[in-house]
Structure 1
Amino acid sequence: MEYFKKILRFAKPYRVYALLNILSNIFYALFATLAMISLFPMLAVLFKQTEPVFEKPIWNGISMGKEYLMEYLNYFVTQKSESGSPGDTLFFMVAIVITAFFLKNLFGYLAMYFITFLRNGVLKDLRNELYVKTVELPISYYSEKRKGDTIARITSDVLEIQHSFLSILELVVREPLTILFTIIAMLSISAKLTLFVFLFLPISGFLISLIGKSLKRKSDKVQKEQGYFLSILEETLGGLRVIKAFNAESRFSNTFKKSTKRFYNFSNSLLNRQNLASPTSEFFGIAAIGVILWYGGQMVLVEKTLKPELFITYMGLAYQILTPAKAISKASYGVKKGNAAAERVLEILETENPIAEIPNPIEKNTFESGIALEDISFKYGEEYVLKNFNLNVPKGGTVALVGQSGSGKSTIANLVTRFYDVNEGTIKIDDVDIKNLKKESLRGLMGLVTQDSILFNDSVKNNIGLGKKDATLEEIIEAAKIANAHDFITALPEGYDTNIGDSGNKLSGGQKQRLSIARAVLKNPPIMILDEATSALDTESERLVQDALEKMMRNRTSIVIAHRLSTIQNADTIVVLQKGEIIEQGSHTELISKKGAYQKLVEMQSMG
């Protein structure tokens, strides 16, 4: 129940609905028992088993409750018979039965009505908290995890929790109380018969519990496999162009089919085990009914210690126990499935964010002197990508980072934006360690334009306005003009209201990049980080984008990670990296005159 308790905290805001549900379930259980007991007076009248009683009986305590009720029934029937026909008495008895069953079902509906708000409320809050946590966790978390597995946890695993754990809340009061009230009624009719029947219950309960022991393990396999094939689907949709271009459809289809085959086998095993719960519990219940029929029949026909109409009522009560007993049995299997789902969901919720803020972090809204990387070292796995790295970026300056792939250029962008934390050393903005800054204010000082233009399935206007919540259309248009994007946007079918499709796929590479630049321009941050912003463009697009970048970088502090060296000739400082270390540093002219690594890179790109 450890996971159940942790999930239960999400039910606190909805405790009023929980209390109303409990209250409704108490009345449901009470009227469920009374509905069956109300059959007895009708049967007594029907079989003419009532003995005339002319004096109203006196209550002599709960121990004599059964005798009092029997006498009062006979007194009531006698009174009605004196003033009317037996048919009127029977009609009145039937009305009592119908009323009792109506009230039972009314409170049953009310219980379900109230629990619906609790269940869906917990589902909503749990998903919201999972989403917030998913966004909060660092990028490094998702470099190790499959995205599809995270999607599976937020969708199917949370639903499993709703179906299993939250179903228990319905059963926790209603079914045990129904059983309790029914047992009290059965004991009042015949304690001897009831005790005889309950000798068999521990045996059947033990046999039922044996079936459910492996359910959690099987359920865990099903949920993990579901996460795996969702990952394959997510990767397929993301890389559809490459899959088609390399005729790799069959390869991905085979991988997906293997996963769904495993899912099929795990699901069959799990569901077959789960489906065994209901027939098993029903079989043992019917076996108990058979025992009652045999033993109770002896009491009615041979010993004559039990009246036939009481025995029929007793049989109805005994059968009534089967439904809640089956529900409890089924719920116990549900708990095991829910346990596996809750474990996976809580794994995300309880994951500690390694890039956490200190208590009372500094809020910084201005940039005054510069950025300093002091003796920083960083590794993704075992090998260091940066070692004892030092770099100063003065305010208003443009520092370009160049070097071969894997030299650590993009890592510096990830560290300055604090997507990752350094293993050693410090990164300072205006002599303040960025670990002491509030993450929101740190990133508020920075604009980011990456090689891959990350756009969203929304309008042009909303994509540009992402970094400024209250941006006006005039401000968005002005940013688009600076980014050389206004002309192509106005040519779109609906202008700034045009939906650009999933990841902006309705636009060309150059158009997407200019929208990314417009987004950064609108944010108007003092620090700009450009991570190979022109490397994937054709010459015409590169010219437009480069012009937009130069306009954007005016009067700003910029860190430019460049693949095409033609784009960074005007940088104040060019830093040449090799295996995480600086091997050359200076202006374009200075580095060319040194005839070192930078000149070789220039010659390789055929720059005269």
Structure 2
Amino acid sequence: AISPLRTITLTFFANFVMLVTGFSICMNSSWRLTLLALSILMPVVHISKTFSAWASRQNATQYTYVADAQGAAVQGLTNIRTVRAFGGRDIEVERYERQMTKAQRLRLQTAWMQGFSGLLSSLVEFGASFMILYYGGHLALGHSFEVGSIISFTYLWNRLSSAVRNLTDNINQPIRAASAGQRVFEILDLQPDIPEEIGDSLPSDVAEIGVEFQGVRFTYQRRPDIRILQGLDLTVAPGKTTALCGKSGCGKSTVTKLLMRFYDPISGTVLVNGRALKDLHVLNFRAMMGIVSQDTQLFNATVADNITYGMRESTYTMEDIHRAARSANADEFIRALPEGYRTMCGESGHDFSGGQKQRISIARALVRRPRLLLLDEATSALDAENEALVQEALDKMMAEVRGACTILVIAHRLSTIKTADRIVVLHEGEKVEEGTHDELLKIKDGRYATMIARQLHGGKDVEAEEKQGGTDEGSTSSGAAPLDFSKLDASDVMNMTKDQRQRLKEEFRNL
């Protein structure tokens, strides 16, 4: 089969040869008639050029509407369960139809203008033929031109006009194609703000990675008026476990994004082993990291391929995959799948529960043998049963790599962060407290102690409980329920009351 590009090229050259040859013959037959017809034919070229420029803009806008419609369709189908659960079917259909209606309206306008342009061009061409016959007849009556030559010239001129029209269409086809691919070309021409393939690489045999944030300030481009980090100073010691905690929106996850260099800080410096992160080869640095985030993305590939995602086949074995899965408490459920590790996960891992996807994510982090491990609220979106399984896998993983790599953990559970070597409390983008678990508990009215108190009471109003138990202010009812250390969620943190602080002190004295 002949490709469309080759067809257009061959047609272009055929019409070009016809144009040059026909013009030469016409000039040789009668230069007067040729110049007359050419002066009348030039508006055809102008009309075609004007229409092509207008149609190109119309097509670009039309393709934008079609892309928006397709985006709406993909969004609705991807979240089909939510759409059905909330009765949003008609809303999604209307959104799709609204964009397609705009595209259809532009198509109709283009079709009408194309027809009008063709009609106008035809009228001009017929006018040129009429003028040739009229002026040629006048010359024939004056015995300056033969009647047979007029007929031959008219035929040649019609062929020449056809070549001009076809040549114009050949030129317009790439223009229309370019307008269709304009948005694609814009994306292909984009250059990343953060170059990933330049910079110095860390030695492949580096044993430990230390991280330091020095006066880091950061805002997101879409929310420039909201300062996420305000002069953050943070040290993550090499080979140690550092925990970040604080209420939602205080900048914890932003720290991991800056460390992975998805963004650069507005001011300040991020140092890795004493070297500025912006001077390092980003891909090389990320290859030394393992990441477990709260939103795990799985690909439409096998379980084994998802665990080893981003790694070359020469860098791992199946035993490495099995070892990582066992450490992540995932080996048992994976082997129970129809094809074990060769089972396809489906698009976005829709065949797996949230807990299963998180355990695959933990295995993905472990199989890389990371020097720097980032744990970003890996259990925040799970139910109690899955949270327990994933938490067990996280505890096992942290115990396995402790001392062998640097760990930065963001979590709400006290059982996850209390064993960290250093705990850093963030508030509104600033570091407000830092120390070990025991040191932070000793800070009077400290935010960490406040979080612990709220977690120990499961978010309940202690004062209400004490009133129900008939106790006085500052005392603890003997019938009050003991504090549950297994249900600790710092997302419930608020300012602690005096009664809560008193009860917290009494409970810790009894530990």
TM-score (structure 1 length as normaliser): 0.67
| Distance change >3 Å, CA 449–CA 323, structure 1 → 2 | farther
Partner of 1:484: 329
SS in structure 2 of the partner of residue 199 of structure 1: helix
| Distance change >3 Å, CA 178–CA 590, structure 1 → 2 | same
Query: What amino acid maps onto 1:238 in structure 2?
Result: T
SS in structure 2 of the partner of residue 496 of structure 1: helix
After the TM superposition, which residues 494-509 of structure 1 pair with which residues of structure 2 at under 5 Å, given as runs? 494-509=339-354
Q: How far apart are the structure 2 equivalents of 1:393 and 1:113?
A: 58
Alpha carbons 2:379, 2:391 under 8 Å: kept: yes
Partner of 2:240: 397
1:293 Cα offset (Å):
4.5
Alpha carbons 1:535, 1:564 under 8 Å: kept: no
Query: What amino acid maps onto 2:422 in structure 1?
Result: T
SS in structure 2 of the partner of residue 517 of structure 1: helix
1:480 Cα offset (Å):
1.4
Of residues 44, 54, 57, the one that matches 1:214 is 54
Partner of 2:467: none
Of residues 156, 161, 178, the one that matches 1:317 is 156
Of residues 385, 391, 394, the one that matches 1:549 is 394
1:416 Cα offset (Å):
0.6
1:437 Cα offset (Å):
0.5
Query: What amino acid maps onto 1:600 in structure 2?
Result: T
| Distance change >3 Å, CA 567–CA 315, structure 1 → 2 | same
1:564 Cα offset (Å):
3.3
> Does the alignment pair 1:538 with 2:383?
yes
Partner of 1:272: 112
| Distance change >3 Å, CA 389–CA 488, structure 1 → 2 | same
1:559 Cα offset (Å):
0.8
1:396 Cα offset (Å):
1.9
Alpha carbons 2:198, 2:281 under 8 Å: kept: no
Alpha carbons 1:278, 1:326 under 8 Å: kept: no
Structure 1: runs of 5 or more not aligned: 1-108, 120-166
SS in structure 2 of the partner of residue 214 of structure 1: helix
Partner of 1:473: 318
Q: How far apart are the structure 2 equivalents of 1:544 and 1:206?
A: 73
1:379 Cα offset (Å):
1.0
Partner of 2:87: 247
1:411 Cα offset (Å):
0.1
Alpha carbons 1:367, 1:429 under 8 Å: kept: no
Query: What amino acid maps onto 1:602 in structure 2?
Result: I
| Distance change >3 Å, CA 205–CA 441, structure 1 → 2 | closer
RMSD of the alignment, in Å? 2.9
1:247 Cα offset (Å):
1.5
1:320 Cα offset (Å):
1.9
Partner of 2:466: none
Q: How far apart are the structure 2 equivalents of 1:114 and 1:335?
A: 11
SS in structure 2 of the partner of residue 466 of structure 1: coil
Of residues 558, 580, 596, the one that matches 2:407 is 558
> Does the alignment pair 1:351 with 2:190?
yes
| Distance change >3 Å, CA 340–CA 283, structure 1 → 2 | same
| Distance change >3 Å, CA 536–CA 209, structure 1 → 2 | closer
Partner of 2:291: 448
1:342 Cα offset (Å):
6.0
Q: How far apart are the structure 1 equivalents of 2:300 and 2:115?
A: 43
Structure 2: runs of 5 or more not aligned: 459-483, 486-511
SS in structure 2 of the partner of residue 254 of structure 1: helix
More divergent stretch after superposition (537-546 vs 337-346) = 337-346
Alpha carbons 1:467, 1:522 under 8 Å: kept: no
| Distance change >3 Å, CA 178–CA 498, structure 1 → 2 | same
Alpha carbons 1:212, 1:273 under 8 Å: kept: no
Q: How far apart are the structure 2 equivalents of 1:565 and 1:232?
A: 42
> Does the alignment pair 1:382 with 2:225?
yes
More divergent stretch after superposition (186-195 vs 295-304) = 295-304
Q: How far apart are the structure 2 equivalents of 1:170 and 1:407?
A: 64
Query: What amino acid maps onto 1:456 in structure 2?
Result: F
Q: How far apart are the structure 2 equivalents of 1:574 and 1:206?
A: 73
Partner of 1:596: 446
Query: What amino acid maps onto 2:454 in structure 1?
Result: M
After the TM superposition, which residues 511-530 of structure 1 pair with which residues of structure 2 at under 5 Å, given as runs? 511-530=356-375
1:254 Cα offset (Å):
2.0
1:505 Cα offset (Å):
0.3
Alpha carbons 1:468, 1:522 under 8 Å: kept: no
Q: How far apart are the structure 1 equivalents of 2:302 and 2:123?
A: 60
Q: How far apart are the structure 1 equivalents of 2:375 and 2:51?
A: 60
Alpha carbons 2:212, 2:233 under 8 Å: kept: yes
| Distance change >3 Å, CA 483–CA 319, structure 1 → 2 | same
Query: What amino acid maps onto 2:219 in structure 1?
Result: K
Alpha carbons 1:402, 1:562 under 8 Å: kept: yes
Query: What amino acid maps onto 1:348 in structure 2?
Result: I
- The superposition leaves residues 83-129 of structure 1 with CA deviations (integer Å, 9 ceiling, x where unpaired) of xxxxxxxxxxxxxxxxxxxxxxxxxx9xx66944xx9xxxxxxxxxx
How many residues align? The count is 447
Of residues 288, 306, 309, the one that matches 2:146 is 306
Alpha carbons 1:281, 1:329 under 8 Å: kept: no
Partner of 1:435: 278
**Sequence identity of aligned pairs in percent?**
33
Partner of 1:578: 427
Partner of 1:235: 75
1:465 Cα offset (Å):
1.6
Q: How far apart are the structure 1 equivalents of 2:180 and 2:186?
A: 10
> Does the alignment pair 1:461 with 2:299?
no
1:261 Cα offset (Å):
1.6
> Does the alignment pair 1:417 with 2:245?
no
Q: How far apart are the structure 2 equivalents of 1:175 and 1:222?
A: 31
1:322 Cα offset (Å):
3.1
1:218 Cα offset (Å):
2.4
| Distance change >3 Å, CA 368–CA 558, structure 1 → 2 | closer
Alpha carbons 1:274, 1:333 under 8 Å: kept: no
Alpha carbons 2:209, 2:372 under 8 Å: kept: no
Q: How far apart are the structure 2 equivalents of 1:207 and 1:525?
A: 65
Q: How far apart are the structure 2 equivalents of 1:461 and 1:357?
A: 27
Alpha carbons 1:367, 1:445 under 8 Å: kept: no
Q: How far apart are the structure 2 equivalents of 1:238 and 1:579?
A: 35
1:371 Cα offset (Å):
1.3
SS in structure 2 of the partner of residue 252 of structure 1: helix
SS in structure 2 of the partner of residue 534 of structure 1: coil
| Distance change >3 Å, CA 203–CA 466, structure 1 → 2 | closer
More divergent stretch after superposition (201-210 vs 485-494) = 201-210
